[in-house]
Amino acid sequence: MTILTRLEQWKEQGKISPEQHAHLAGLSRGEPFSLFLELNVLLYAGVLAFVAGLGWTVSTWSQQLGDVLVLTVLSAILAACSWYCFSRAPAWSPAETPAPNPIFDYVLYLGALIWSLELAYLENRFHVLSGQLDLYLLATAGLFFFLAYRFDNRFVLSLGLSSLAGWFGLTISHWSAHQDAAYRGYALLYCLLVGVGGALLQRGGLKPHFFGTYLNVVANVLFWALLSGVFNRQGYGLWFLVLLIACGACFTWGLARRQFAFVAYAAVYGYVGISSLFLRGVNDESAVLSYFVVSGVAMLVLLVQIGRRFGRPA
Amino acid sequence: MRLYSASSEESLRARKLLRDWAGDGFLNKEQYQLLEKETVSELRTTNIFLRLVLFVFTLIIVGAGAGLFFVVFLSRPSEETAGVFFLIFAAACYAAAEVSVSRARIYRYGIEEALVVCSVGFLCAGMQAAFFSGSSYSPEPDPAKCLVPAAGVVFSLWIWRRFGLSYAFLAAMIFVLFLPGHWTLSPSAQHLIVAVFYAAGLAGVAAVRARHHFNYLDEAYSLVEAFLWLGIYLAFNLQISSLNLPAQWWSGTRAASEFGRPFYWGTWVLIWCLPPIVLARGVRQKDRFVIAVGAIVAILTLVSNKPYLGRPRHTWDPMLLGMLLTSVAVCLQRWLARGPGGIRHGFTAARLLGRDKHWINVGSTVFGLLSPHSTPAPQTKSPDFRFGGGNTGGGGAGGDF
């Protein structure tokens, strides 16, 4: 029985109204057919291609074009994007705010990318930020976070999160020795800052729908950092313990909130960490393969049980 | 032939639609709970994340199990012996997939999918090792050797029909690529043979899917048709399907040398003709996947036109492409929005389902993190600086731009 037949039956049985039937049957038949997704993808691809071409042109022809022309063009685009966004944006609200029109988000995204491009050009030509590149990244991250919260834009929020990660990375690159351990420390600090910041903003009711983005970024960075500690030849015990705690917390949170991406993170990262510990120093092929068979079956049974109990699409 | 009954799959589809509609507020809570009871299916499903993890762990178990068998029971087997055991593993994996579905009634659960993927891999590896391991390399085509990819095609198609996995059809299309090399050395003939296979598949799918409008198979056939259109296009676009593609593009030389001139220019005409045909077909059928492929091949045609003509690329070409794509999107959106009720010819630019917004949110988060987010390079002491080469970008971004 197709969905159209079911809808007809439900209408006749009075389970749905004739208006609901007409609307839902139309949706099932694709009447009207929405091109919302396709147009958004086209806009994103268009902005990305434009900025890539602009960057390529500027980097190739900067000597011939001259600084004045390059900076004028980049500044003009940046100013136009800023004017467009600030003049068209609705009044700010801490709740989720829809964009005023379909191209708004992409104009803001274009402006954010042009900002990065122009600053990069300025630094490379005039060294205006000499020795303070980390400050540039921090300021850029701050600007992107402000824009993301002002205009309710996930594209720019992601740019802000990656700029902040870049700031942590650049700061640590000043250190020459023990880089691995230091990077790990900074990654954990980044997770703490972003996680706590995201949680506080969510609790404060400031764009609470962004919280999922924060959590996904934090979970992945945290697990990578912990795994890099577990892979150490020495002193990995503490990292392993923290990995287990993090996996347990992630797993529990994922099940409780029915956010199964976090269950998957806990299963995969946890399995990699535990496997690296078990297989440390084991050279016997059959022992390694037996481990993968036994542990794989154990994971499969556990996940199937979880899937049976919780894992149906919510 | 299909492992799942039509009523079960129809019920699953209805259940999914009900969930979407309830989430969008088209049904109230009481209605949703009432109607959900009428769409109960005996099939057991899971969410995409657990499905992926189950798939990976099943692959690990099968791979490690096969490896363990060879380590424990067969030390240094001959290739023929290993091939025979691979064929046995293929049969075992396939049987396990069938049993898991028929007993546990699992549907898109990751486990049965990994088992059938392993069975295809074992089958091809087994046939190659068992039947052709001793044959020496010869530049001349050997039709007998096409047995391995042919078996891959047939078995993948069987899995597509039996389990309804669309990517099995894609695997069959990939196996087809290896067939013509065993029949002819001519690159033109090889491209033509692949295109003919795909066109035959397309004709078959187009004929069959007319009977499945608005039922649970419509989307599956739509995806398969989109794959086939893309395959036909790629078989004809010699600038994309040619093996030495990067060298040709950067040097601006044509791939014409390995193809006859009439064939080369014939394919150039075809890559301009195909996008409007695919787009028209997608729009007429209101088929999302075919429309998407139509847009992709149109962009590929624009991108590969200069290499086709042997003209040099310019740094501003991507800018022009970006402006074109943006203009098309904006004009189309405005044109549709100005129609009565925001609808023209049955199409609208408005969002009708919450699912679309969810995809946009996921996409904007992921693509935002992966954006080419350039940052300045640390200052060099050398006076002859070079613009570009930022060394950090966050989110995996590259430094050069």
Tell me, yes or no, if A57 comes closer than 8 A to chain B by beta carbon: yes
Among B47, B291, B321, beta carbon nearest to A38: B291
Among B21, B53, B352, beta carbon nearest to A267: B53
Q: How far apart are CA B148 and CA B125, in angstroms?
A: 8
At residue A172, the pLDDT reads 59
Rounded mean pLDDT of B258-273?
92
Based on the number of CB atoms within 10 Å of its own CB, is B281 exposed (0-12), middle (13-18) or buried (19 or more)? middle
A71-85: pLDDT as tens digits: 999 999 999 999 999
Judge: A3–B328 Cβ closer than 8 Å, yes or no: no
Q: How many CB pairs under 8 A join A and B?
A: 325
Query: Which whole-number Å values give the CA distances from A218 to A25, A182, A207, B293, in the listed order?
Result: 42, 18, 18, 35
Band the pLDDT of A203: cuts 50, 70, 90.
Answer: very high
At residue A281, the pLDDT reads 85
B313-342: pLDDT as tens digits: 899 999 999 999 999 999 999 999 999 989
- Phi-psi domain of A286 (left: phi exceeds 0; alpha: psi -120 through 50; beta: other): alpha
Band the pLDDT of A248: cuts 50, 70, 90.
Answer: very high
Compute how many other C-beta atoms are within 10 angstroms of the C-beta atom of residue A56. Answer: 19
CB B130 within 8 A of CB B156: no
Judged against a pLDDT cut of 90, whether residue B370 lies above it is answered with: no
Band the pLDDT of B394: cuts 50, 70, 90.
Answer: very low
CB A305 within 8 A of CB B104: no
Strand order in the sheet with B347-348: A33-34, B347-348, B343-344
Band the pLDDT of B375: cuts 50, 70, 90.
Answer: low
Band the pLDDT of B244: cuts 50, 70, 90.
Answer: low
Q: How far apart are CA A15 and CA A21, in angstroms?
A: 10
Tell me, yes or no, if A14 comes closer than 8 A to chain B by beta carbon: no
Best of A20, A58, A303, A305 to mutate (most B CBs within 10 Å, chain B) = A303
Q: What is the DSSP letter of A89?
A: P
Judged against a pLDDT cut of 80, whether residue A174 lies above it is answered with: no
Least confident of A148-157, B73-82, B337-346, B391-400: B391-400
Band the pLDDT of A234: cuts 50, 70, 90.
Answer: confident
Least confident of A241-245, B19-23, B153-157: B19-23
Band the pLDDT of B366: cuts 50, 70, 90.
Answer: confident
Judge: A159–B387 Cβ closer than 8 Å, yes or no: no
Q: How far apart are CA A1 and CA B9, in angstroms?
A: 10
Judged against a pLDDT cut of 80, whether residue B255 lies above it is answered with: no
Amino acid A304 reads: V
Distance from CA of A3 to the nearest CA of B (A): 6
A90: which residues sit within 8 A by CB, 6+ positions away?
A: A97, A100
Q: How far apart are CA B50 and CA B114, in angstroms?
A: 13
Query: Which whole-number Å values give the CA distances from A173 to A9, A300, B237, in the listed order?
Result: 67, 41, 45
Q: Residue B174's Cα: distance from chain center in Å?
A: 10
Judged against a pLDDT cut of 90, whether residue B174 lies above it is answered with: yes
Domain definitions of chain A by residue range: 1-32
A169: its two tokens: 């990375």
At residue B369, the pLDDT reads 75
A217 by DSSP, 3-state: which? helix
**Which one is predicted more confidently, B237 or A310?**
B237
Three-state secondary structure readout of B50-112: HHHHHHHHHHHHHHHHHHHHHHHHCCCCCHHHHHHHHHHHHHHHHHHHHHHHHHHCECCCCHH
B226 by DSSP, 3-state: which? helix
CA closest to B351 among chain A residues: A36
Band the pLDDT of B399: cuts 50, 70, 90.
Answer: very low
Tell me, yes or no, if A264 comes closer than 8 A to chain B by beta carbon: yes
CB A35 within 8 A of CB B329: no
Among B299, B343, B365, beta carbon nearest to A158: B365
Among A52, A124, A166, beta carbon nearest to B392: A166
Rounded mean pLDDT of B301-319?
92
Band the pLDDT of B400: cuts 50, 70, 90.
Answer: very low
ipTM of the complex in this document: 0.89
Cβ-based contacts of A37 with chain B (< 8 Å): 288, 356, 359-360
Q: What is the DSSP letter of B344?
A: E
Band the pLDDT of B372: cuts 50, 70, 90.
Answer: low
Q: How far apart are CA B29 and CA B52, in angstroms?
A: 31
Band the pLDDT of B250: cuts 50, 70, 90.
Answer: low
What residues pair up with A33 in beta bridges, in sequence order?
B347
Rounded mean pLDDT of A211-222?
93
Q: Pick the most confident of A136-140, A157-161, A175-179.
A: A157-161
Buried b vs exposed e over A232-254: b needs ≥16 C-beta within 10 Å? eeeebeebbebbbebbeebbeeb
B126-141: pLDDT as tens digits: 999 998 887 766 777 8
Rounded mean pLDDT of B144-157?
93
Rounded mean pLDDT of B149-169?
95
At residue B58, the pLDDT reads 97
What is the secondary structure of A38-68 as a DSSP string? Answer: HHHHHHHHHHHHHHHHHHHHHHHHHHHH-HH
